[in-house]
Structure 1
Amino acid sequence: MSAFPEVHAAGTATAERPVVLLHGGNVANWMWEPQLSAFGDRTVLTPDLPGFGERVREGWPGLDAVADDVVARVTGHGVDGQFDLVGLSLGALTALRVLARNPDRVSSAFLTSAPLMSAGAGMRLYCGLQSAFSRARWYWRAQAAVFGLPEDARARYVEHGLSVRRETASAMAAEVCAGGVPAEVGRYTGPLLATAGEKDSAAVRRSLAEIARAAPQARTRLVPGMHHIWNVEDPDLFNGVLRAWLGGAVDPRLLG
C-alpha cells in the first residue's frame, strides 16, 4: 500500500487555520482522501496515529500519549498556533484527549462516531471477535459491509486491517472498550460539534450524551442515513457538514 502524505498544503496562500483530521481505528490517514479535493483552499494535516498506516510497526502507547503525539506532529509540520480539529471514531477519542490536554491549541472541534460507552456484552463480543479474527480477510470484508463502505473503498480497508499488528489492535481495543470521557475535557470551552450516524450502533449514538455532559457547549446531532465511517460512505454530505462547521454553522441536514 503506497504512502499517503500527512500534509496537504493549500494551493494558494490562505489566512485560514489548518485543519487536522484524525482517522479511525484499523484504518489510516488515507481514509480522508475523499475530503482533500473539497478542502483544497485549506492546509489539511492527516497524521497517521501510532500503529497504523506508515506507523504500523509502532506499538499503541495509550490515548493520552497518542494525543500528545498528534500535537507534536502538527507542531513539527510548522503549525505552532491553533488549528481546527476533526476526529472520527478512534480519531474522535484521540481528539477528546487533545482537547483535555492541549485546549489552547484547538480553535474548533468536530467529533463524530465516538464510542464512549463502557463495553457491554455486545462491545465485548465485538472486541473478542476482532482479536480472534484480525488475520482473517473475510472478517474485514464483513466489517466493511457493516460500515456501509462503498465497493471501491473496501479493498483498501481489508488490506490495512490485515496489516495492523495483533498487539496494537488488542491494546487499542482494550482502551476503547473501557469507555469514558476524560474529565479535563471541560478545560476546552471553544466550539464543539459531536455527531453520530443515524444507523451507527446504539452505543455510539448514546455517546453523544456523554460528550454533552462533559462539554456543555457541545452541539450534538445525528447524521441521517449514515453508518460509522460516513466520510467515505457519503463524502459530499460529510464535506458539506464539515464546511458549514468550519464556517461557524451547523448543517441543517443534521438531525437535532
Structure 2
Amino acid sequence: MTESSMSRLEHGPRRGETIIMLHGNNAGSWMWEPQTDRLPDRHVLTPDLPALGERYREPWPGMAGAADDIAEIIREHALDGTAHVVGLSLGGVVATHLAHRHPGLVRSCMITGAPLAGLTRLERLLIPPQLPLWRQRWYWRAQAMAFGIPADARDVFVDSAVRVAPETNRETYREVAAGIPEGLIAYPGPLLAIAGEKEQRSVRDAFPTLRRRAPQLQSWIAPGMHHPWNVEDPDLFTDVIREFVDTGRWTPADRRPQASDAPGGPAAQR
C-alpha cells in the first residue's frame, strides 16, 4: 500500500495508541466511516485488505498473506508499531491470523461476525451456487437490505462488492468455509469475539472452539444485530471498541452494576 493511499486511511491525532480496523469481504475501508466519525480523538487506521476495496486489482494472498500485509502496515504506520485490532467478518478472520502470526504487534483483538470454526453444512450447500451472483448488483442490493445497511450506504456497498474478482471470491469463501487451522491461535492478550443475534449461527458456534485455544476469550451476542452491525448501530459498536481498547474488557449494559447495588447504595441500606 502506497504512502498516498495510506494517508487517506489514517484518521485522528498521532498520539495515544493506534486502533486498526479490518473490513469484511466484498467491502472496503469506507465501511468504518461511522466509527472514525465517532473516534475523533483516537489514532485510527482503516486499510483496505489485499484484493478488496481500492486494492481490488491485486490478487488475494490467502489469510496468512493478508495478515502479513496488515502486520507491515502496523509496523510502518501505527504508533509505537503496535495496534488494537478490530475485525469484522473476513477482517475478523484475518485479525485472528494476525494475532497468531504477529502477537507482538497486537495490543488487543476484537472480532465480530467471523465464523472461525468454519461454515455449517447448510451454508456449504447454499453459498457456492451463489458465488457467480457476487458480481451482480441486484444480488448485493438485496444483501444490503437483509444486512440492515442504511439506505445512504447501499450504493458504495454494492459498488465495492461487484468489482471483486471471481477468483478472490472463490478463494476467500474456501478459506472461510474451512475455518481456522488447528493450532491457531497462540495469542495471550485481550480477545473479544462478538456475534450479532440475527446473523448466521456459525459465528456464535465458533466461540467454544476459539475459547479452547484462547482461554482468556470474552464473547458476547449483540442483541438484535445483523452481520455488519457497525453501520446498523454505530454508537453501540463504537462504545464497545472504546471500552475494550481502554480496559481490555467489554461489559454489556445488562451486566453492569446498578446504582442500587453500589456500596452504600439503597440495596446496602436496606
What TM-score, normalized by structure 1, do the two folds share?
A: 0.91
Match of 2:174 in 1: 174
Match of 2:50 in 1: 50
Which letter maps to 2:210? I
Local SS of the residue matching 2:135? coil
Contact 2:195 / 2:221 at 8 angstroms: preserved in 1? yes
Match of 1:223 in 2: 222
Q: Which has the larger radius of gyration?
A: 2
Contact 1:181 / 1:214 at 8 angstroms: preserved in 2? no
Contact 1:181 / 1:210 at 8 angstroms: preserved in 2? no
Local SS of the residue matching 2:215? coil
Local SS of the residue matching 1:185? coil
Once residues 126 and 32 of structure 1 are traced to their aligned partners in structure 2, the CA distance between those partners, rounded to angstroms, is: 29
Show the 5 A alignment for 1:177-188.
Answer: 177-181=177-181, 183-186=183-186, 188=187
Which contiguous aligned blocks of 4+ residues in structure 1 show a shift greater than 6 angstroms? none
Once residues 154 and 223 of structure 1 are traced to their aligned partners in structure 2, the CA distance between those partners, rounded to angstroms, is: 22
Greater shift in the superposed pair: 217-226 or 240-249: 240-249
Q: Does 1:199 align with 2:198?
A: yes
Match of 1:64 in 2: 64
Residue ranges of structure 1 left out of the alignment (5+ in a row): none
Once residues 21 and 78 of structure 2 are traced to their aligned partners in structure 1, the CA distance between those partners, rounded to angstroms, is: 16
Once residues 202 and 145 of structure 2 are traced to their aligned partners in structure 1, the CA distance between those partners, rounded to angstroms, is: 19
Report deviation, 1:221.
0.8
Which letter maps to 1:163? R
What TM-score, normalized by structure 2, do the two folds share?
A: 0.87
Once residues 118 and 252 of structure 1 are traced to their aligned partners in structure 2, the CA distance between those partners, rounded to angstroms, is: 27
Local SS of the residue matching 1:66? helix
Q: CA RMSD in A?
A: 1.9
Number of residue equivalences? 250
Once residues 52 and 158 of structure 2 are traced to their aligned partners in structure 1, the CA distance between those partners, rounded to angstroms, is: 13
Local SS of the residue matching 1:134? helix
Show the 5 A alignment for 1:135-154.
Answer: 135-154=135-154
Greater shift in the superposed pair: 241-250 or 85-94: 241-250
Local SS of the residue matching 1:183? coil
Once residues 85 and 254 of structure 1 are traced to their aligned partners in structure 2, the CA distance between those partners, rounded to angstroms, is: 25
CA displacement 1:224-245 (0-9 Å, x = unmatched): 1101100011101101111111
Match of 2:101 in 1: 101
Once residues 149 and 99 of structure 1 are traced to their aligned partners in structure 2, the CA distance between those partners, rounded to angstroms, is: 29
Contact 2:108 / 2:191 at 8 angstroms: preserved in 1? yes
